[in-house]
Each structure stands twice: as structure tokens, then as C-alpha cells.
């Protein structure tokens, strides 16, 4: 008698199931190893940055971003129906590593007064991880330092609104408002900053300018006279004398 075999849909032989399980575990193991390597590389580069070895840190960070972007590229090409929870978690991890690396590259650029490059890196950080610590202030400060005052305002305003007790944020917002010729809005911030940071010559210069531009000439004159007396050797004072 001929034997009849029942074909069951979805049936996978035991050996095949074991093979799939081992393959999945191996792939997961490789993925976890790669993640740990990326984390270690970032931490090592950041230690170089903290110790002032900017050239070595920059080279390591650029190499790391290249490797992580290559690893992330296949995930970015996936369409929603094909993206698994593991893919999403891996993508979040890659974005975190890239954000940390690019933030460090931005800090290196700013330290060397390459403010345009610093702003570019901080912009990328914000795209990768919008809630990255202090990214809005760092971006605004880089744009302010590059004299792009109007562009610097939105991130500085956002940073100050998120942390209204941070006097440093408010000081740079006030200075930027003067650079953007929004003098009335700058006055209160600069008056507060002048009391809290009397050693910064930019503050009385900006405050006096804002007062003069809003037709408060007597107050402006008083600020400038006090500046000439208290800070006679600063570049800002020499400019004012001129």
C-alpha cells in the first residue's frame, strides 16, 4: 500500500528550527558585539578630547562616524512594513552614538574657533537626537560666535525657555539680540547679566548700544562712562574711545 504523507502548512523540521535559532543568536551576538565596540570607541575618543588631544580625538571620531553611518545605512533603506522592533532599537542606538560623536566634533571645532564647522556638527546632533543635552545652546553659541545672529536666536531662545534659571543662556541670548538689532528685547536680559557677570566687557558695550538705539541716551552715556572707568584696557573700550 502506498503511504500517504500529510503536508502541513508552516511546518519546519526540528533541525531547521535549530539552525534558524542558532543563526538568529549568532546574528544578535555579532550585533551586540558591534554595539559595544562603537560605545567603547566613543568613550575612548571622548577621553582624548577631555585630555586636550584634539587631533587624535578628531581622527578617532571621524573614523567612528564613518563606521556607524555605514552600519546604519541598510536600516535607513527599510520601508515601515519591513522594519522590526530590533531594527528600531538598533537605529536608536546608532543615532545616539552618532550624536555623541558629532557633539564632540562640534566641541573640538569650537575650541579651535572654527565656528561654522561647530554649528554644522551641532545641527547634525539636533537632527539625530533633538533632546541631546545642551545641543540648542551649543548650536546657538556657535552661530553667535560666527556672527550669524538671526540664525542663533531660535536655538538660544529655546535653550533659555527650557532652562530659565541658567544665567549663561540668558546672557548670550541678550548679546545675540543686540547683534540681531532687537534692542528692546535685549535690555532686561543685559541689565541682569551686567549685575551677575560684571567682568565681561561685552555686556556693558551691548547694553549701552541697546540703550542708545532705543533713545535712552542718558542711560547709555552712563553705562559707557562706567565702562571707560572700570575697564580702560579692554579692546571694547578702545573701540568705544575710537
39/129 same-domain check:
yes
Alpha-carbon distances of 190 from 9, 60, 208, 224, rounded to whole Å: 75, 40, 10, 14
Question: Which domain covers residue 228, as residue numbers?
Answer: 166-242
Whether 160 maps to a domain, the answer reads no
Total count of residues recorded for the chain: 242
CATH classification at residue 50: 1.25.40
pLDDT (tens digit per residue) in 145-192 = 999 999 999 999 999 999 999 999 999 999 999 999 999 999 999 999
Distance of alpha carbon 103 from the chain centroid: 5
CATH classification at residue 190: 1.25.40.10
42/116 same-domain check:
yes
Q: pLDDT at position 240, please?
A: 43
pLDDT (tens digit per residue) in 77-135 = 998 888 999 899 999 999 999 999 999 999 999 999 999 999 999 999 999 999 999 99
Residue-wise burial string across 145-173, b where 16 or more C-beta atoms lie within 10 A, e elsewhere: bbebbebbbebbbbbbeeeeeebebbbbb
Instruction: Assign 5 to helix, strand or coil.
Output: coil
pLDDT (tens digit per residue) in 29-42 = 446 667 899 999 99
Q: pLDDT at position 229, please?
A: 82
Q: pLDDT at position 16, please?
A: 52
pLDDT score of 24 more than 90: no
Whether 196 maps to a domain, the answer reads yes
Total structural domains in the chain?
2
54/123 same-domain check:
yes
Domain boundary among 133, 153, 176: 133
Reported as a pLDDT band with limits 50, 70 and 90, residue 230 is confident
Q: pLDDT at position 76, please?
A: 94
Q: How much of the chain, in percent, has pLDDT values that exceed 90?
A: 74
Whether 220 maps to a domain, the answer reads yes
pLDDT score of 7 more than 50: no
48/124 same-domain check:
yes
Q: pLDDT at position 1, please?
A: 44
Whether 22 maps to a domain, the answer reads no
125/172 same-domain check:
no
113/175 same-domain check:
no
Amino acid at each position: 500500500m502506498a503511504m500517504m504523507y500529510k503536508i502541513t502548512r508552516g511546518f519546519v523540521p526540528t533541525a531547521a528550527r535549530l539552525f534558524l535559532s542558532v543563526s538568529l543568536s549568532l546574528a544578535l551576538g555579532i550585533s551586540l558585539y558591534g554595539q559595544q565596540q562603537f560605545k567603547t570607541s566613543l568613550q575612548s575618543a571622548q577621553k582624548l578630547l577631555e585630555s586636550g588631544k584634539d587631533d587624535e580625538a578628531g581622527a578617532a571620531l571621524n573614523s567612528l562616524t564613518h563606521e556607524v553611518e555605514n552600519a546604519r545605512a541598510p536600516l535607513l533603506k527599510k520601508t515601515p512594513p519591513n522594519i522590526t522592533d530590533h531594527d528600531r532599537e538598533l537605529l536608536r542606538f546608532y543615532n545616539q552614538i552618532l550624536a555623541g560623536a558629532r557633539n564632540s566634533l562640534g566641541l573640538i571645532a569650537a575650541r579651535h574657533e572654527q565656528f561654522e564647522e561647530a554649528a554644522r556638527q551641532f545641527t547634525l546632533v539636533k537632527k539625530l537626537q533633538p533632546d541631546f543635552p545642551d545641543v540648542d545652546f551649543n548650536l546657538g553659541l556657535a552661530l553667535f560666535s560666527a556672527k550669524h545672529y538671526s540664525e542663533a536666536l531660535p536655538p538660544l531662545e529655546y535653550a533659555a525657555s527650557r532652562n530659565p534659571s541658567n544665567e549663561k543662556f540668558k546672557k548670550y541670548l541678550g548679546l545675540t539680540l543686540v547683534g540681531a538689532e532687537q534692542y528692546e528685547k535685549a535690555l532686561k536680559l543685559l541689565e541682569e547679566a551686567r549685575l551677575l557677570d560684571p567682568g565681561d566687557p561685552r555686556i556693558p558695550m551691548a547694553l549701552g548700544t541697546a540703550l542708545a538705539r532705543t533713545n535712552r541716551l542718558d542711560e547709555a552715556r552712563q553705562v559707557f562712562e562706567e565702562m571707560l572707568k572700570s575697564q580702560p584696557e579692554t579692546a571694547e573700550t578702545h573701540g568705544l574711545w575710537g
